[in-house]
């Protein structure tokens, strides 16, 4: 069977992988030289109802490749507090001259928009196909697919799945001892365009506004101990909503309805080592705690930098430049989310001081601006 040859083969046609492909084409790489490989069907991805948080900076990147606008709810304010303690901070869009701090959309909406952007750019997707082997040599990488096809590429990008390849000696791994319970819930007194990050003894509880048929809806991400998560999943809807009300409080009135609930364990993995001709981006390079909703946005910034460098030269030297350029942003975001996830979980006197720090943050405009700009754009 004749090999297909690419300059860049991207393994994983999720949002980060498709964004990279569209950005490469946008920056001048011929579409036929871009290989995009995915094991899943497009239909399954397009109907995925999970919620995803986009920063304002991510919106600008999506606009560049024609994957915006999409159905999304704008976040104008973020309310941050610690349950059971005084002190809170509110970050508002009006302080930063942007139309929104971020957006909440469904995974399927994002995938659909990015798929159309790739189609318009002429980038085809090899699917369903799973990579079963790879062999790196001096001039490129040979890739074997489960359908028997062989591909040759100058460079290979892993853009989907867990941490890719061997970890480097600066890798960070952590088991938070937490499980995220996710659902879509409705409240009796919603506040339009306001998101909440509420820290509890077991972990953060996030409520993200997500308008749809019911304008009172929120995407819930509730981080708790594994045994608590199992108990929450076992409750009937009324009991679950009551427990949620106890944990969150009455800022949104009563919680009146919930959709299907699911759960997944939380851990930190960051520091996949690339090789001369392979590199990892997005979840393949770092999987983060969902606090502050930075995972996808960090991955999209990976894609933007990599596209800029590879469109100029698809060489190992470009991958070396990528590692250097992305190091500071990756380390800062990983460190910040890790610190927030660990510091605010638990009980005791230290939590009162942490809660007080939120109040201090609310009065110090430069610190609030720095945090907001990091969440919107990463380290620049």
Looking at the chain, the domain(s) classified CATH 3.50.50.60 span 4-77+98-170+267-343
**Calculated CA dihedral for residues 65, 70, 75, 81, nearest 10 degrees:** -90
Which of 108-122, 249-263, 326-340 is the least confident region? 326-340
* pLDDT, tens only, 39-90: 888 887 778 888 999 999 999 999 999 999 999 999 999 998 877 666 678 8
Residue 289's pLDDT is 86
Q: Does domain 176-265 have CATH number 3.30.9.10?
A: yes
Which of 11-20, 240-249, 292-301 is the least confident region? 292-301
* Contact predicate 172/338, CB 8 Å: yes
- Residue among 206, 22, 244, 228 nearest 123 (CA): 22
Residue 338's pLDDT is 85
pTM given for the model: 0.91
> Which residues lie across from 104 on neighbouring strands?
53, 73
Architecture of domain 4-77+98-170+267-343: 3-Layer(bba) Sandwich (3.50)
The two structure tokens encoding residue 318: 């470009």
Looking at the chain, the domain(s) classified CATH 3.30.9.10 span 176-265
Residue 303's pLDDT is 97
By percentage, how much of the chain surpasses pLDDT 90? 62
Residue 1's pLDDT is 39
The two structure tokens encoding residue 132: 């079963």
* pLDDT, tens only, 335-380: 888 887 777 665 554 444 454 455 545 555 666 677 777 777 777 6
């Amino acid at each position: 069977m004749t090999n297909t040859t690419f300059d860049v083969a991207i393994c994983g046609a999720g949002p980060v992988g498709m964004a990279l492909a569209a950005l490469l084409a946008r920056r001048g790489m011929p579409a036929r030289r871009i290989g995009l490989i995915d094991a899943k069907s497009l239909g399954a991805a397009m109907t995925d109802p999970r919620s995803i948080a986009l920063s304002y900076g991510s919106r600008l990147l999506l606009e560049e490749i024609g994957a915006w606008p999409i159905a999304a709810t704008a976040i104008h304010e973020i309310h941050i507090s610690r349950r059971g303690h005084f002190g809170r901070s509110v970050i508002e869009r009006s302080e930063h001259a942007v139309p929104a701090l971020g957006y909440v959309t469904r995974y399927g909406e994002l995938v659909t928009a990015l798929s159309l952007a790739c189609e318009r750019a002429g980038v085809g997707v090899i699917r369903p196909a799973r990579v079963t082997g790879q062999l790196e040599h001096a001039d490129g990488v040979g890739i074997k697919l489960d359908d028997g096809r062989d591909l040759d590429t100058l460079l290979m990008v892993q853009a989907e799945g867990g941490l890719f390849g061997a970890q480097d000696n600066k890798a960070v791994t952590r088991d938070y001892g937490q499980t995220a319970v996710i659902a879509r819930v409705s409240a009796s007194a919603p506040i339009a365009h306001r998101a909440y990050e509420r820290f509890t003894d077991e972990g953060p509880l996030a409520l993200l506004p997500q308008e749809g048929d019911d304008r009172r809806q929120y995407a819930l991400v509730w981080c708790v101990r594994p045994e608590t998560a199992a108990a929450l999943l076992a409750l009937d809807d009324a009991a679950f909503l009551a427990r949620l009300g106890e944990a969150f409080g009455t800022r949104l009135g009563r919680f009146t309805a919930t959709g299907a609930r699911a759960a997944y364990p939380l851990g930190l993995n960051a520091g996949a080592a690339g090789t001369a001709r392979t590199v990892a981006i997005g979840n393949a390079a770092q999987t983060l705690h969902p606090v502050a909703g930075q995972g996808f946005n960090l991955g999209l910034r990976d894609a933007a930098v990599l596209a800029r460098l590879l469109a100029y030269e698809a060489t190992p030297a470009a991958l070396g430049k990528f590692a250097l350029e992305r190091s500071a942003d990756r380390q800062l975001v990983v460190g910040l989310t890790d610190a927030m996830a660990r510091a605010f979980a638990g009980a005791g006197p230290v939590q009162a001081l942490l809660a007080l720090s939120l109040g201090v943050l609310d009065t110090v405009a430069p610190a609030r601006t720095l945090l907001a700009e990091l969440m919107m754009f990463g380290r620049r």
